[in-house]
Amino acid sequence: MKAVPLPRQRTSPKRRVWILVIAAFIAIAIAWAYLYPPPHYKSSMRDWLPAEPARELTDEERASRVVFRQILTTPPVRSKSSKIAFMFLTPGTLPFERLWEKFFEGHDGRYTIYVHASREKPEHVSPIFIGREIHSEKVTWGKISMVDAERRLLANALQDIDNQHFVLLSDSCVPLHNFDYVYDYLMGTNLSFIDCFYDPGPHGNFRYSQNMLPEVTEADFRKGSQWFSVKRQHALMIVADSLYYTKLKLHCRPGMEDGRNCYADEHYLPTLFHMMDPDGIANWSVTHVDWSEGKWHPKAYRANDVTFELLKNITSIDMSYHVTSDSKKVVTENPCLWNGAKRPCYLFARKFYPESINNLMTLFSNYTLI
C-alpha cells in the first residue's frame, strides 16, 4: 500500500503577524543597544558622532556635521585588493627613488604612488615613479598652500576605490621597515595616525585667533606634525571640509596681528580631528622627526650620521613625546598603542640629505627586518 502524505500544517495569519511583531521588536532592541549602550560599554558608532556644543550651531556647522557623520557612520568599502596610497610632497626630484623602489619591490597591486612637485618636474631614476605626478601648484612653507597640496594629493588618490590608507611623505623621507610590516601596521587598525596635542606656549595656542570663533574655540585648538597617515573615511573628511579649512586659511597664517605667526599645516588637521573624531586618531605621526636640537627646523642627517645604530634606535622607539613651547617645557609621554598593544611608533623617518642614499641602500635589508 502507498503511504498517504500527511497534510501540511499552514501557519495561521494571526501567528504570522505575531512572528513579524517579535522579529521587529528584536531588531529595535538590538539597534537601541547598539546606539545607546550601557555606561560600561562604549559603542564605536556612538564614539564617531561629534559632541554637540552647548551653543546653537551655525548653519555651516550643522551642514558640516551632517556630512562628517554620514562619512564616519558609513561602513568602508572593503576591496579585495586594498592598497596604500603613498603621496610624495616634494619641490622637484625625489632623491630616494632607488630606495623606495627597493621598498616596493615585489608588491605590485598593493600600493599606488602620487607625486606633487611644486617647483619643477621631477627627473626619475626609477620606472615606478614615471607618470605618477599629479597637477601641482606652488607651495610656500608655512602658508595654506601646503594644506592645499595635501588636499590635492588626497583628492587624486581617493579616485582609486582600492586605496584604503593614505600616507603623506616628503622628499627627505625614508622607510624604516619592509613593505609587509608597513602594510600590516596601517591596514590592520581602524585608526588614522595624526599627530595632535595641546600646547599652551608661543608655538601652540598663542597662535590662536579669536576670529576663528564660534566654530573653533581656543580650547579646541591643537598642534601636530603635518606628516599624516589616514584611513579612507578621514581622507574623505579632509577633502569634503570647507568650513574649518576656511577658518584656518583666513586666520592662521604668518604675520598675523600682535606679531604672531600661525602655520596652518601644523594646526588644521589636529584641530579638525580633535573636534570631529578624537577617538579615531592615534595622536602621533608614524613619521619620525628629531626636534631635540630646539631649532626652527628638525635635525637633518648627513651621510656620516646614517648608521645601523641610528636606524635601529629610531625603529625601537615605542613612546610618543610632546613638549610644550612655554617656559615650563612640560613633557608628555604616551605608549604607542596599536590595537591595544605597545608597538614601535614609526614606519618612516625624515630629514635625510640626498648624500645619504648609498648608506641607506647598503643598510636597508638589515634595518628593515621585523
Dist CA 143 CA 145 (whole Å): 5
Q: What pLDDT was estimated at residue 10?
A: 52
Q: What pLDDT was estimated at residue 14?
A: 54
Dist CA 21 CA 13 (whole Å): 13
Dist CA 270 CA 257 (whole Å): 23
Q: What pLDDT was estimated at residue 33?
A: 42
Q: Is 87:154 a contact under the CB 8 Å cutoff?
A: yes
Dist CA 280 CA 38 (whole Å): 21
Type and span of the H or E element at 70: helix 59-73
Dist CA 213 CA 120 (whole Å): 39
Question: Residue with C-alpha cell 622627526?
Answer: 289
What is the b/e burial string over 322-347, where b = at least 16 CB atoms within 10 angstroms of the residue's CB? bbbbeeeeeeeeeebbbeeeeebbbb
User: In Å, how far from its chain's centre is CA 148?
Assistant: 16
Dist CA 115 CA 95 (whole Å): 13
Cell numbers representing residue 189 in the block? 587598525
Q: Is 123:91 a contact under the CB 8 Å cutoff?
A: no
Dist CA 325 CA 63 (whole Å): 35
Q: What pLDDT was estimated at residue 351?
A: 93
Q: Is 143:264 a contact under the CB 8 Å cutoff?
A: yes
The three-state secondary structure class of 128 is helix
Cell numbers representing residue 15 in the block? 501567528
Q: What pLDDT was estimated at residue 36?
A: 43
Cell numbers representing residue 295 in the block? 631649532
Q: Which residues of the chain have pLDDT under 70?
A: 1-52, 368-370
E strand map for the chain: 83-90, 111-117, 163-170, 174-175, 192-195, 229-231, 281-283, 287-288, 319-323, 331-335, 337-338, 341-342, 348-349
Cell numbers representing residue 150 in the block? 595635501
Edge-first strand listing for the sheet containing 287-288: 174-175, 348-349, 287-288
Report how far apart, in Å, the C-alpha atoms of 82 and of each of 92, 188, 192 are. 29, 12, 16
Q: Is 48:73 a contact under the CB 8 Å cutoff?
A: yes
Cell numbers representing residue 183 in the block? 602594510
Query: 53: which residues sit within 8 A by CB, 6+ positions away?
Result: none
Strands 348-349 and 287-288: parallel
Question: Residue with C-alpha cell 615613479?
Answer: 129
Q: Is 318:336 a contact under the CB 8 Å cutoff?
A: yes
Residue 139 is classified by DSSP as: -
Q: Is 226:265 a contact under the CB 8 Å cutoff?
A: yes
Q: What pLDDT was estimated at residue 76?
A: 80
Dist CA 164 CA 157 (whole Å): 10
In this prediction the pTM is 0.85
